[in-house]
Structure 1
Amino acid sequence: MVLSTTRYIDAAVTQLRLERHEIRDEDVVRLSPLEQRNVNVLSRHTVIGSIPHEGLRPLRNPDASGLDDDDDGADED
């Protein structure tokens, strides 16, 4: 889970940079897959099954309407 989440974080940062968003290296070094909702240190994981695929799934479009089923738009503590 941690490796997979790390790959998606890297893909998101790469996409944002390609879109010419200002992404500071000092901010990127603070990113951690362990702070994501689907990864925790108690070995309990939230995984939504899907058809196997090659490579990464497409990143979510932040401009698309609606939130994920479990996302209310608020940060979790």
Structure 2
Amino acid sequence: MNAAIQQLRREGYPVMDSDVEKLSPLQCGHINMQGRYSFTVPESVSKGELRAFNE
């Protein structure tokens, strides 16, 4: 989440600290904190790179 916020700020979006303080992955229904997840990711991501934002 921090990487996404930093990217938005670099692109000039007004991301306010007071809004960031309210963000929590627990508010998203699709996130299961006790489950297992299986992902197929591009090789670049498996090497530690981040994917670009969708436009």
- Name the TM tier (shorter chain): 0.5 to 0.7
Within the alignment, does 1:16 sit opposite 2:8 as a pair? yes
Runs of 4+ in 1 over 4 A off after TM superposition: none
For CA contacts below 8 A with separation 6 or more, give which structure has more relative contact order: 1
In the alignment, which residue of structure 1 is the partner of 2:21? 29
| Identity of matched residues, % | 31
Render the CA deviation track for 1:20-74: whole Å, top value 9, x for unaligned: 110110000111122232x224x1344323357122431431x2xxxxxxxxxxx
- C-alpha contact (below 8 Å) 1:12/1:59 kept by paired residues: no
* TM superposition shift of 1:12: 0.8
What is the alpha-carbon distance in structure 2 between the residues aligned to residue 54 and residue 45 of structure 1? Answer: 21
Within the alignment, does 1:57 sit opposite 2:40 as a pair? no
Larger helix fraction of residues: 2
Report the CA distance shift for 1:35/1:46 in structure 2 as closer, same or farther (over 3 A).
Answer: farther
Report the CA distance shift for 1:46/1:59 in structure 2 as closer, same or farther (over 3 A).
Answer: farther
Report the CA distance shift for 1:27/1:12 in structure 2 as closer, same or farther (over 3 A).
Answer: same
- C-alpha contact (below 8 Å) 1:13/1:23 kept by paired residues: yes
* TM superposition shift of 1:13: 0.4
Question: Once superposed, what is the RMSD of the aligned Cα atoms?
Answer: 2.2
Report the TM-score when normalising by structure 1: 0.51
